[in-house]
Amino acid sequence: MKTNKITDCIWEIPPTEKEGMRVPARIYATDKLLKEMDDGVFEQITNVACLPGIQRYALCMPDGHWGYGFPIGGVAAFSTRDGVISPGGIGFDINCGMRLIRTDLTLADVKPRLRDLLNLLFNKVPAGVGAKGFVKIDKKELAEVMTRGVNWCIKKGYGWAQDRDRIEGGGCLPGGDPSHVSHQAVERGIGQLGTLGSGNHYLEIQVASMENVYDEKLARAVGIFGQDQVVVMVHCGSRGFGHQIGTDYLRLFDTAMKKYGMTVKDRQLSCAPFRSPEGQAYYSAMVCAANMAFANRQVITHRIREAFSQIFNEDAERLGLETIYDVAHNVAKIETYDIEGKPTELLVHRKGSTRCFGPSRSEVPTLYRDWGQPVIVGGSMETGSYLCLGTGKAEAETFGSTMHGSGRTMSRHAAKRMIRGTDLQRRMEEHGILVKAVSMSGLAEEAGAAYKDISDVVDTMDAAGISKKIVQLKPIGNIKG
Amino acid sequence: MTQAYTFLENVVLSDMAFEAKGDTPAELFQAAAQALFEGMANTRRLRPRIRKEIRLRNTQIDQLMYDWLSELIYLKDKEGLLFREFSVELSQNSEWNLTATVRGERIDPKRHSLRSDAKAVTYHQFEVVQTETGGWKARVVVDI
């Protein structure tokens, strides 16, 4: 497929390359990352470019790899008037996302108690197949979580009032309607609030050292003082609740498209007009799942605070366990952008991609409004992660979007053939990273070699001016399902 | 007993893909269910203590397969169960009718050698087809 170089970090596939493309496809990548991208990325992003109502470009971030319908790392914005909504552009794990929590502790404080801390977190934050959450709720309360998100958690004592200011959308997106959520989704999710999931989900204790701080002033502005400061990162989503909503509506749209005379090049791109009853039903159910995921990461934060408080025998407030930020990387949001000189409401699909608004944008919390929105980018458990800030250029070029992680390069089977989980665990401990995992085969699948180099990915979007890297965070302890 | 499914290693990077086979549609559906749960745990360690009955119907056999595997994933989360035995009957009138008895037990991380958690069945490269020799095969990719 013909791919033209626009800049050192931007490549474009023109609409002439595939019949039905309404806009060009653009991929953010260096030469190296582009060469490493699988063929599926090019196929899928050009399929996305064919969807009705798509604006400007079908975009793929540098961590892109092929997914279902949209590539992972895919971004596409649609007119809310005559565009579509597509579950494949959001993913089954609705609002899979990241939360970063700071502490006032340093490596010297935590290292002597790290194993005890990890063991306690492993008990307090269940992970893996069949894990049950500690939050016991009935269907009426679950409906309240669907519509109130983190607000429900704070009311119940699972968070601090200021947490809500440090979560994308205030931890509660408007428009959730529980009547559009199936009983199967309710039954799958009702026992899972407070669980991590499995696969590439994790709870990780990390260190911010001065040599990895790229901008000291900006780091301090978001609560990072460096000097071997300990932080905690959580990667998880809406669990079975969201997965079932994705299943229900993918199935519905597969047949509903005939009603609207629509066809798509890939069954996983099944969609419906956003303004149709089906489109609106899915959107409102998706919002319910997004709010569940924000609530899930909030109650997990509560357990993290409990664990630190117990181990260090001090209140979590005194330990400085503040949320820095919480971002969604599988979601569709209604946002306003300048289209041909006019502010225009669009439905932005981000599938394995993170919002990264710049300073002054009204959706950015007041406390970060001078700096830009924090962007949490999760790497593999061996290489670490990044904290970045959004920019105004992102709003102009990528519908305010950037990467979400490092992206896989190796299949799970290949990773398991390369290394056994127990050997990986031992190797990581030799390198100073303790790991507790429910599944050893699952652990092997998450080996660092199975992922792209996260620094390449982050540097690409930094060089492109889309998201600015602030600090690299190195892992010292990890919990996996 | 010959394994009636094969995990496909090069179809997906981050998830589970398998091809299941059967001489009859019922055998195919059993094989697909076996593959699904083998991807989640070592099913030889499961005891067939708890029994569930499943009834489904659809005009399209591929949609029926989607619904069958989705129902099993739903039961896994709703009731915390993993299954190892699948007894399926399939008949076709104006639509396909599935009646199945599945057996397994509650998930126990200490005994079950857990692997990946299935989130959902995808439509990616999804197919249920009759082969030239009259048998049946299915290709399924599961998001984990």
Say if the Cβ atoms of B14 and A72 lie within 8 Å: yes
The shortest CB-CB distance from A92 to any of B76, B109, B120 is to B120
Suggest the residue from A439, A440, A441, A446 to mutate for an interface test with chain B (most B CBs closer than 10 A): A439
pLDDT score of B18: 96
| Residue tagged active-site, from A65, A180, A235, A404 | A404
Residue given tokens 């699904």 in the structure block: B36
Q: Is the predicted pLDDT of residue B2 greater than 70, yes or no?
A: no
Please state at what angle helix A277-312 crosses helix A239-259, rounded to 10 degrees. Answer: 170
Q: With contacts defined as CB-CB under 8 Å, which chain B residues touch A191?
A: 80
Specify the CATH number of the domain A4-409+451-480. Answer: 3.90.1860.10
Q: Find out whether A418 and A467 touch, Cβ atoms under 8 Å.
A: no
The Cα of B40 is separated from the nearest Cα of chain A by a number of Å equal to 8
What is the pLDDT tens value at each position of chain A, 481 positions in all? 899 999 999 999 999 999 999 999 999 999 999 999 999 999 999 999 999 999 999 999 999 998 999 999 999 999 999 999 999 999 999 999 999 999 999 999 999 999 999 999 999 999 999 999 999 999 999 999 999 999 999 999 999 999 999 999 999 999 999 999 999 999 999 999 999 999 899 999 999 999 999 999 999 999 999 999 999 999 999 999 999 999 999 999 988 999 999 999 999 999 999 999 999 999 999 999 999 999 999 999 999 999 999 999 999 999 999 999 999 999 999 999 999 999 999 999 999 999 999 998 999 999 999 999 999 999 988 888 999 999 999 999 999 999 999 877 888 888 888 999 999 999 999 999 999 998 888 898 888 888 888 999 999 999 999 999 999 999 999 999 8
**How many angstroms separate the CA of residue B23 from the nearest CA in chain A?**
27
Q: How many CB atoms lie within 10 A of CB A262?
A: 16
Q: Do B13 and A413 touch (CB under 8 A)?
A: no
Work out whether strand B96-106 and strand B81-92 pair parallel, antiparallel, or are unpaired.
Answer: antiparallel
Is the minimum CB–CB distance between B82 and chain A shorter than 8 Å?
Answer: yes
- B121 to chain A, any CB pair closer than 8 A? The answer is yes
A183 is catalytic: no
> In the predicted model, what is the mean pLDDT of residues B35-59?
96
Question: What CA–CA distance (Å, rounded) separates A242 from A23?
Answer: 30
CA distance A69 to chain B (A): 8
Rg (CA), chain B: 14
pLDDT tens across A354-397, in order? 999 999 899 999 999 999 999 999 998 888 899 999 999 999 99
User: How far is the C-alpha of A144 from the C-alpha of A309, rounded, in Å?
Assistant: 29
CATH number at residue B85: 3.55.10.10
CB contacts of A187 in chain B (<8 Å) are: 74, 77-78
Sign of the alpha-carbon torsion through A102, A107, A109, A115: positive
Of A199, A251, A441, nearest to B66 by CB-CB distance is A251
Domain ranges in chain A are 4-409+451-480
Using a CB-CB cut-off of 8 Å, the residues of chain B touching A442 are: 114-116
In angstroms, the CA B25 to CA A354 distance is 43
- Cross-chain Cβ contact A188/B80 below 8 Å: no
Mutate to test the interface with A, among B11, B115, B139 (most CBs of A within 10 A): B115
Buried b (16+ CB within 10 A) or exposed e, A408-417: bbbbbbbbbe
Cα first-last separation, chain A: 39
Instruction: Number of helices (H) and strands (E) in chain B: give both, helices first.
Output: 2, 8
Does B106 contact chain A (CB < 8 Å)? yes
d(CA A36, nearest CA chain B) in Å: 14
Mutation target vs B (from A41, A63, A68; most B CBs, 10 A cutoff): A68
> What ipTM describes this predicted complex?
0.94
User: What confidence score (pLDDT) does residue B11 get?
Assistant: 75
Assign A269 to helix, strand or coil: helix
Give chain B's domain count: 1
In a mutagenesis test of the B interface, which of A95, A202, A241, A247 is the best target, namely the one with the most B β-carbons within 10 Å? A247
Find, among A109, A473, A135, A476, the residue nearest to A314 by Cα: A109
Please report residues of B whose CB lies closer than 8 A to that of A72. 14
In chain A, whose CA is at the least distance from the CA of B67?
A251
Q: What is the pLDDT of residues B77-122, one digit of tens each?
A: 999 999 999 999 999 999 999 999 999 999 999 899 899 899 999 9
Residue A416 CA to residue A3 CA, distance in Å, equals: 34
- Report the distance separating Cα A420 and Cα B11, nearest Å: 22
What is d(CA A163, CA A171) in angstroms, rounded to the nearest whole number?
9
Give per-residue pLDDT as tens, A156-197: 999 999 999 999 999 999 999 999 999 999 999 999 999 999
Between chains, do A129 and B74 touch, taking CB under 8 Å as contact?
Answer: no
pLDDT of residue A409: 81
Domain enclosing residue B91, as ranges: 5-143
Whether chain A has a CB inside 8 Å of the CB on B13: the answer is yes
Q: Which of residues 36-55 of B touch A (CB under 8 A)?
A: 40-41
Structure tokens at B135: 């048998």
Task: Inform me whether the pLDDT recorded for B1 exceeds 50.
Answer: no
* Chains A & B: contacts with CB separation below 8 Å: 123
